[in-house]
Structure 1
Amino acid sequence: MAVTFRKSFRILPGVRLNINRRSWSVTLGQGKGPRHTLNSAGHRTTSMNLPGPFGYRKRTTSKRRGGR
């Protein structure tokens, strides 16, 4: 069994800071309506629960400046 680490902190109503072993992310949004997540790797995700067993998720990767 693998050992994992994940911790989520509520900063403000509708704003969460999520930390795990390799990265961090900030999530904006509450239960109903869309949620926007930005993580330390530069990925942005927009997600929303839809009625029934459906959901919507769109993930984009922002281009990093400079570097390799």
Structure 2
Amino acid sequence: MPLTFRKSFRILPGVRLNINRHSWSITTGGRQGPRHTHSSTGRRTTSMDLPGPFGWRRTSRARRG
């Protein structure tokens, strides 16, 4: 079984710093409404919880060059 590391810190209300072995990211937004995550690897994710057991997520990569 591989070892994993993940830690999340609340910086301000509605803002979290997430750290894992390979990168870090900043998440803004709360439980209600959309959440936006910007990763150090260039990934940007927008997600939202929907009523019931549903959720929505859109992920994109930042263009480099």
**TM-score band w.r.t. shorter chain:** over 0.9
The code of the aligned residue for 1:48 comes to M
The percent identity for this pair of structures is 68
Give the Cα separation in 2 of the matches to 1:64 and 1:18. Answer: 23
Any stretches of 5+ residues in structure 2 without a counterpart? none
Q: Which portions of structure 1, spanning 4 or more consecutive aligned residues, are displaced by more than 4 angstroms?
A: none
Partner residue, 2:31: 31
CA RMSD for the aligned pairs? Answer: 0.8
Counterparts of residues 1-68 of structure 1 (less than 5 Å): 1-65=1-65
TM-score under structure 2 length normalisation: 0.94
Q: Give CA deviations for 1:4-37 in whole Å, capped at 9, x if unaligned.
A: 1111111000000000001000000011110000
Any stretches of 5+ residues in structure 1 without a counterpart? none
Give the Cα separation in 2 of the matches to 1:47 and 1:8. Answer: 17
Give the Cα separation in 2 of the matches to 1:59 and 1:12. Answer: 24
Report how many aligned residue pairs link the two structures. Answer: 65
Larger relative strand fraction = 2
TM-score under structure 1 length normalisation: 0.90
